[in-house]
Structure 1
Amino acid sequence: MEYEAKAIDGEDRPQLSGPEAPSRRRRKWIIAAAVLLLLLLVAWVAFGRGDEEGAAAAGAQPAGDSQVPTVSVMVPGRESIQAVVTGTGSLAARREMPIGVAGEGGEVTRVLVEPGSWVGQGQVLASVDRSVQAQTAESLQAQVRVARADARIAQSELDRSQQLLGRGFVSQADIDRKTATRDAAQARVRVAEAQLAETQARNRRLDIRAPAAGLVLTRSVEPGQIVSSGSGTLFRMAMGGQMEMRARLSETDVARVRVGVPAEVTPVGSTATFRGEVWQVSPVIDPDTRQGTVRIALSYDPALRPGGFATARILSGARAAPLLPESAVLSDGKGNYVYVLDDKNRAQRRAVTVGQVSDAGVAIADGLSGTERVVVSAGAFLNPGQKVNPTLRKTGR
């Protein structure tokens, strides 16, 4: 065997030559192939077992359980629910008083109030010129004074005649005549006084006065204007400042409202709410609109302007009924319904009548006793008779 010296990496190493070199290279390829097969075997064992375990785990889960939906249910019970009727309408004076000219009228000399003024009973709102009427009154006062003077003279003459009657200087006939003269003079006094009183009363009616205490709403007269009994309404007042809302309600809602129930009124454009109570329910329903008027009494407030628009919430009473979330109540062509669960957790359709709807939920007027397990979610995806997996939900909303 011959060896040849060859420099590898700066060193002299012997290199095989001759017939042993090919066998050495063959062994190396065999070893490499064996290592590669071993690696492939290890990889197959690792990944193949993981797939089998996953398949076994998947096969261990029953196929039937994956098809039973889980739904949320609740037992609503019965709660006291306040029935609320809502409506719209206009604000107005509860007792509006139109004021015009009560006397013969004339030229307006002064207007003493403005809209929004509070006035007392009998207070002068406007004055009318009375220069001519004042002269007539003075003339009648003079006539009264003359009549009273004549009556005093007649009484004095009668008194003297009665003193002379006992001495025989006058006769009884003279006494009778003087008594009649005295009585006539006193009668003329009363006539003159009555005429004066009538004139003074007419003159007082020239002043336009408030018939009762209250709030001035409108004024349609100015100084210099000629007014008479045909001039119409010069002032409008709200007696005592009392206001009201005239709510227009449907025929059904009117039947649910009673006199004395509380109400809340909110004027348009305002966030303030005013409390009042129903004081009158219209006995007549408009045949065209099928609506009636409910009048709600309100105390005075500057924000309550007659003629304005407002909304009202009328508390028409309370009743005990099941209360459900809106998601629990479904509807279709047959009406409103809910799903309830039987003792085998199967969904059963139940027709219901919906009552008051509020932020708290939907009141069920008819169809539920409150002891049923009612599906509150996912009901739209159920079919009658379908089995479900229920999850009980607390009644607190």
Structure 2
Amino acid sequence: MNFETSRWRRSAIDSDVLDDDGLARRRRRRRALIIGAVVLVLALIGAAFLFGKGEKPAAATAQEAQTLPTVTVIVPGSHQVATTISANGTLAARRDMPVGVSGEGGMVSRVLVEPGQWVGAGQTLAIIERSVQSQEAQQLAASIEVARADARLAQSELDRAEALVARGFVSKADIDRKRATRDAANARVRVAQAQLGQIRARIGRLDVRAPAAGLVLDRMVEPGQVVSAGSGALFRVAMGGEMELKARLSQEDLARIHIGVPATVTPVGSTRTFTGTVWQVSPVIDPVNRQGEARIALAYDPLLRPGGFAGADLVAGQVDAPMLPESAVQSDAKGNFVYVIDVNDKVVRKDVKVGQVADAGVPVIAGLAGNERVVQSAGAFLNPGDKVRPVRAAAR
């Protein structure tokens, strides 16, 4: 039975092969199917190519936008900000007066003041031993009395002679001699008085006195010390207690400073700030470091110690500049910069020059116009060229 079935199949195949019309029809159907499949594939490829610029990119763009990182941007605009120059310098007395011996000197017997005390003009700071000068003064005072006695005697003799001249007992020549004797006695009185005044002035100069009212800064003398006019300063007094900061500025910054510019000074180690004004601008520049000095006048305060170090912020004027939060400004080896978002929503780096940080933010002196979309924060996680989804920050 199986044999007959196999034979029947072979005969069937043989009959199909031998049938030319059937074979031709079969080939035509196969060719039509192949051509249809090719046409369908080409049609699908063409459709994909045509619709790739329309509906599919829009969907892809929407999906891509959902996956882009979202960044908050701000448009800073322009604000009036103060142009501040920072500087450092040394605190000092505005008028530092060294006080020394004005007379012949001697051994110091007493010192009457200590550093930190206030003194008045002419107040005695130290006393120099004066026993020798005192004896000389007493001697001259006695000589004045002797000269006065001689002058009184000469005047009496002159008076008696003038009373007798009319009777002829005394000649006019005697009167002239007695008058000359009287005048000489009066002159000796004046000489003795002048000598006494001189010695008293010398005694007065032995006292070391303050030339003006102020604050005693330093004391360099002790009792028992022998001093003279060549001993140098024994005391240092700040006239009126006024202080100053000698701020060192570059040549460029010094050109922007003038007398009367306000400044705030902060001593090192202190959180307090002191207000002052520039009262003198150096007329010369140091040829070595190309710096000059602006002297800032300050009122007395115990925290302002001469010789200390302090920082100063000087207000050199006002400019229109964008104001950014500190989180928007970054820095690297090249300097300060911000990230802005361009019209294609891509990150672009902008190098900027910033001013003094204030409570309101950081002023951008150069590098921005104010109408850019600036990344408010998260700039450390971005790179130039990154595509992002910017979101405008809410107005405050």
TM-score scaled by structure 1? Answer: 0.74
Shift of 1:394: 4.7
Shift of 1:224: 1.4
Q: 1:63 corresponds to which residue?
A: 60
Distance in 2 (alpha carbons) for counterparts of 1:183 and 1:227: 43
Q: 1:38 corresponds to which residue?
A: none
Q: 1:246 corresponds to which residue?
A: 246
Distance in 1 (alpha carbons) for counterparts of 2:330 and 2:243: 43
Contact 1:87 1:312 in 2 (8 A): yes
Q: How many residues align?
A: 335
Task: Give the aligned residue type for 2:85.
Answer: V
Q: 2:27 corresponds to which residue?
A: none
- Tell me the SS of whatever aligns to 1:212: coil
1:174-222, CA deviations, whole angstroms, 9 ceiling, x for partnerless residues?
3332222222222211111111111111111111111111111211222
Bigger shift: residues 321-330 or 310-319:
321-330
Determine if the alignment matches structure 1 residue 268 to structure 2 residue 265: no
Q: 1:354 corresponds to which residue?
A: 353
Change (3 A) 1:357 1:105: closer
Task: Give the aligned residue type for 2:357.
Answer: S
Contact 2:98 2:237 in 1 (8 A): yes
Change (3 A) 1:393 1:88: same
Change (3 A) 1:334 1:294: closer
Shift of 1:346: 5.8
Contact 2:80 2:318 in 1 (8 A): yes
Distance in 1 (alpha carbons) for counterparts of 2:177 and 2:277: 73
Change (3 A) 1:301 1:285: same
Q: 1:171 corresponds to which residue?
A: 171
Determine if the alignment matches structure 1 residue 230 to structure 2 residue 230: yes
TM-score scaled by structure 2? Answer: 0.74
1:1-397 to structure 2, matched below 5 A, reads 62-68=59-65, 69=68, 70-326=70-326, 328=328, 353-359=352-358, 360-376=360-376, 380-383=382-385, 390-394=390-394, 396=396
Gaps of 5+ in 1: 1-58
Gaps of 5+ in 2: 1-55
- Tell me the SS of whatever aligns to 1:297: strand
Distance in 1 (alpha carbons) for counterparts of 2:331 and 2:310: 33
Shift of 1:331: 7.5
Distance in 2 (alpha carbons) for counterparts of 1:331 and 1:272: 29
Contact 2:338 2:352 in 1 (8 A): no
Task: Give the aligned residue type for 1:283.
Answer: P
Change (3 A) 1:330 1:99: closer
Task: Give the aligned residue type for 1:354.
Answer: K
Distance in 2 (alpha carbons) for counterparts of 1:99 and 1:291: 32
Distance in 2 (alpha carbons) for counterparts of 1:357 and 1:272: 18
Change (3 A) 1:347 1:182: farther
Contact 1:74 1:395 in 2 (8 A): no
Q: 2:50 corresponds to which residue?
A: none
- Tell me the SS of whatever aligns to 1:182: helix
